[in-house]
């Protein structure tokens, strides 16, 4: 008897613990089969049949505003800068004077060339008279043929010297014109890199100009997307800094991909806009195919806290359905999940009225 009591107590204790654990696990509760928890209401009114909508997909590509015509202004001769008539941001017209260089040496060369020409002309007049006189005397056999040839040679030599002097004068005048640097087209000054008194050297830029009417958009587009583009195609372009949208027309697609980024350079022209500046950030929106999506009017959706609910007609009954919604477009919203094409929606206001 004592042996039975000795083992019975631990066994009863273990059995009691197992019973308690089983009860806490819900083994004795009534089970509910899994399924859709929905409130069903009989309905026979108007409904909306859900249809797929073809949506155009786009890809936004970073781009840059650039000028097709940008010029670096430099001197053609080595000279001291006398004055600069423009600064960054100024607008100039074709032919406007931009920079004046010290041209005293050039003016001296031009004056010297002119004086040399006048001297040769005087000698040429005298040589011509001598040649004509010698020619008449030779016809009368008063001078020898050698004297005639000598007069002719002197006359022809001076004519050649005059032609050479005139060429030197033209060269000097051209060099003198280099001291006045003018705008070759209507432009805007981006920046200037010298000041009066600096020494201007040939090929060293002094100013940078660009044509505001020739701005365009440059973008590096990934190869799979760039191959779908065509010359003349219009693309919507956004300028975030100006909060502005413009249209850009593709005018050039560089026919070689960048091996590093696997992208093609696309150049698109835009209409003249005084607010746009070279180097500004832009964003081109490029079509990237179509996608079928479900859109329903916002009136058919009821918001319950953070949940979105619609009522679907199923077997003559209105069944509540939770859905996930996405981007809103006008008075319609995209349905990400919860509905399929062909299902019938019930307007909540009509359901409430019935």
77 and 141 inside one domain: no
Residue 104 has pLDDT above 50, yes or no: yes
Looking at the chain, list the stretches that DSSP marks H as alpha helix, in order from N- to C-terminal side: 2-24, 104-139, 145-177, 223-226, 348-353
Q: How confident is the model at residue 3 (pLDDT cuts 50, 70, 90)?
A: low
Residues 232 and 278 grouped into a single domain: yes
Q: How far apart are CA 294 and CA 129, in angstroms?
A: 104
DSSP 171-194: HHHHHHHTTEEE-SSSEEEEEE--
Per-residue confidence band for 306, with pLDDT thresholds at 50, 70 and 90: confident
Mean pLDDT computed over 259-280: 91
Structure tokens at 250: 């593709």
Beta bridge partners of 202: 75
Alpha-carbon distance of 48 to 339, in angstroms, equals: 13
Confidence of residue 230 (pLDDT cuts 50, 70, 90): very high
Question: Which pLDDT belongs to residue 187?
Answer: 92
Q: Is residue 168 part of a domain?
A: yes
Q: Which domain holds residue 145?
A: 103-178
**What is the residue-averaged pLDDT of the chain?**
87
State yes or no: pLDDT of 56 exceeds 80: no
CATH for 313: 2.40.420.20
Phi, psi of 155 (to 5 degrees): -65, -45
Question: At 130, which CATH number?
Answer: 1.10.287
Are residues 90 and 190 in contact, defined by beta-carbon separation less than 8 angstroms? no
Express each pLDDT in 334-344 by its tens digit.
888 888 888 88
Cβ burial 322-351 (10 Å sphere, 16+ → b, else e): ebebeeeeeebbbbeebbeeebebbbbeeb
Asked if residue 342 belongs to a domain, the reply is yes
pLDDT at 352: 65
Comparing CA positions, the residue from 251, 333, 246 lying closest to residue 283 is 246
Cα angle 67, 255, 260; round to 5:
85
Work out the angle between the directed axes of helices 104-139 and 145-177 (0-180°, nearest 10): 160
More reliable by pLDDT, 349 or 35: 349
**How far lies 48's CA from each of 200, 250, 311, 327, 351, in Å?**
78, 42, 11, 20, 13
CATH code of the domain in which 87 resides: 2.40.50.100
Three-class SS of residue 314? strand
258 closest CA partner among 311, 294, 229, 219: 219
Indicate if the pLDDT at residue 37 is higher than 50: no
Pair (300, 312) in one structural domain: yes
What residues contact residue 131 under an 8 Å CB cut-off, 6+ apart? 151, 152, 154, 155
**Hey, is 326 helix, strand or coil?**
strand
Q: Are 204 and 237 contained in the same domain? A: no
Which of 258, 290, 322 is the last residue before a domain boundary? 290
Distance CA(168)–CA(216), nearest Å, equals 45
Question: Residues 42, 351: contact at Cβ < 8 Å?
Answer: no
Question: Is 300 a domain residue?
Answer: yes
Give pLDDT tens digits for 138-156: 888 888 888 888 988 998 9
Q: Are residues 193 and 301 in the same domain?
A: no
- Rounded Cα distance, 205 and 254, in Å: 29
The tens digit of pLDDT for each residue in 152-185 reads 899 899 999 999 999 999 999 998 999 999 999 9
**CB crowding 177-195: b at 16 or more within 10 Å, else e:** ebbebebeeebbbbebebe
Would you say residue 224 lies in a domain? Answer: yes
Does 141 lie in the same domain as 114?
yes
Number of domains in the chain: 4
Write down the residue that tokens 């201007």 correspond to. 200
Tell me what pLDDT residue 40 has. Answer: 59
Q: Kindly state whether residue 35 falls inside one of the protein's structural domains.
A: no
Q: Based on the fold, state whether residues 187 and 93 are members of the same structural domain.
A: yes
206 and 217 in a single domain? The answer is: no
Shared domain for 142 and 257, answered yes or no, is no
Chain centroid to Cα 116, Å, comes to 57
Same domain, 221 and 286: yes
Q: Is 333 a residue whose pLDDT tops 50?
A: yes
pLDDT confidence of 2, banded at 50, 70, 90? Answer: low
| CATH number where 258 lies | 2.40.30.170
Listed residues 178, 197, 224: the one ending a domain: 178
Domain boundary at 119, 154, 178, which? 178
Q: Are 251 and 286 part of one and the same domain?
A: yes
Does the residue 14 lie in any domain? Answer: no
Position 314 in a domain: yes
Is position 34 within any domain?
A: no
Measured distance CA(196)–CA(180) in Å, rounded: 14
Contact 60, 309 (CB under 8 A): no
């Amino acid at each position: 008897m004592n042996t039975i009591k000795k083992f019975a107590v631990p066994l009863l204790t273990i059995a009691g613990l197992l019973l308690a654990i089983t009860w806490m696990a819900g083994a004795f509760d009534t089970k509910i089969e899994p399924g859709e928890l929905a409130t069903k209401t009989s309905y026979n009114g108007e409904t909306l049949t859900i249809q797929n909508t073809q949506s155009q997909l786009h890809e936004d590509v970073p781009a840059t505003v650039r000028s097709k015509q940008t010029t670096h202004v430099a001197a053609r001769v080595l000279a001291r800068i006398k004055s600069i008539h423009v600064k960054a941001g100024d607008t100039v017209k074709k032919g406007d004077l931009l920079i004046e260089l010290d041209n005293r040496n050039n003016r001296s060369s031009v004056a010297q060339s002119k004086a040399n020409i006048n001297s040769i002309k005087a000698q040429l007049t005298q040589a011509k008279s001598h040649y004509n006189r010698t020619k008449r005397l030779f016809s009368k056999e008063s001078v020898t043929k050698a004297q005639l040839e000598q007069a002719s040679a002197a006359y022809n030599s001076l004519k050649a010297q005059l032609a050479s002097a005139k060429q030197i004068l033209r060269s000097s005048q051209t060099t003198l014109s280099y001291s006045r640097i003018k705008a070759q087209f209507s432009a805007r000054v981006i920046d200037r890199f010298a000041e009066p008194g600096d020494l201007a050297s040939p090929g060293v830029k002094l100013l940078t100009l660009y044509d505001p009417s020739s701005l365009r958009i440059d973008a590096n587009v990934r190869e799979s997307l760039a191959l779908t583009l065509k010359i003349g195609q219009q693309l919507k372009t956004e300028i975030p800094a100006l909060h502005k949208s413009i249209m850009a027309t593709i005018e050039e697609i560089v026919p070689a991909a960048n091996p590093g980024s696997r992208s093609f350079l696309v150049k698109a022209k835009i209409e003249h806009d005084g607010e746009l500046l070279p180097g500004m950030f832009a964003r081109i929106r490029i079509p990237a195919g179509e996608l079928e999506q479900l859109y329903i009017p916002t009136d058919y959706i009821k918001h319950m806290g953070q949940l979105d609910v619609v009522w679907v007609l199923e077997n003559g009954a209105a069944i509540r359905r939770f859905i996930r919604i996405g981007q809103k477009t006008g008075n319609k919203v995209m349905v990400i999940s919860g509905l399929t094409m062909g299902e019938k929606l019930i307007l909540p206001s009509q359901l409430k009225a019935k």
